[in-house]
Structure 1
């Protein structure tokens, strides 16, 4: 007799591993704008959080104000759409005022860390898009958490 739940779990784990291998590469040099490789394959349909390196400072909470540098890339085109590194100074904002992917993806991150977020459209800008972000766009963010307050 085959244990279907064990077989299904193994298949789910295998699918999750396959999805992880499609994630873009991210450079890990602290204090410098990250280099982000182009993604491949099908975009994940759920939020992906992957710490490139873990910080040692204060931990972000859902109600925190954060100062963070970020690079925003389109999964579909592989193009960088926006980078706070270009302006020099990292912006500060409340997590309660940003897209849901950040609201779910940043809490638990520590100051000084770098995290890759892959955000599906439902947790990003949805069907309408916005600015350089097209409708139903899966977003890649590489976030460097500078300060939590």
Structure 2
């Protein structure tokens, strides 16, 4: 009986100790909270950006041609990705295939704005990129990012 009471006491103390502690899980930043930072990046980098209703900024450099791209397509792209401080975290010079349904939301929403042969610059808020979890070690949590993407093929 003493063992049971002792175990219950320890369990109770553990439960009480865990109550009321702050949530240590990550908290995504709302898109609206990064709007000024995205606009500043566009201005500093000479990007004449339009704002998508979802909150990302984009500039279509070349619209491309052919059928519209959808999230069901695989796109063959070359791209460069940067943090807002200009740090390049990825650069792909030889076309790489991506199933559009499996990429970040910023790509899912931005790439369909162009077609095969098109080029677009995307300034993506963190909530439409890697959110609060980031993509470590290259992309910290809650980091808005920039991509310059050229679509070479659509399948």
What TM-score do the two structures reach when normalised by structure 1?
A: 0.67
Partner of residue 69, structure 1 = 78
1:41-100: CA deviation from partner (whole Å, max 9, x where unpaired) = xxxx9211210122124431121110000100101x211111001xxx211011000001
- Counterpart Cα distance in 2 of 1:72 and 1:97: 17
Residue 92 (structure 1) aligned to one of 83, 89, 97: 97
Q: State the Cα RMSD in Å.
A: 2.4
Q: How many residues align?
A: 112
Is it true that 1:111 corresponds to 2:116 in the alignment?
Answer: yes
Q: Does 1:146 align with 2:146?
A: no
- Measure how far apart 1:114 and its partner are: 0.8
Q: Which runs of 5+ in 2 are unaligned?
A: 1-34, 48-53
- Structure with the greater alpha carbon radius of gyration: 2
Which consecutive aligned stretches of 4+ in structure 1 deviate over 6 angstroms post-superposition?
A: none
Secondary structure in 1 matching 2:109? helix
- The correspondence of residues 1-149 of structure 1 with structure 2, limited to 5 A, is 19=39, 22=43, 24-25=45-46, 46-75=55-84, 77-85=85-93, 89-131=94-136, 132-149=138-155
2:103 and 2:91 mapped to 1: Cα distance? 16
Equivalent residue for 2:12?
A: none
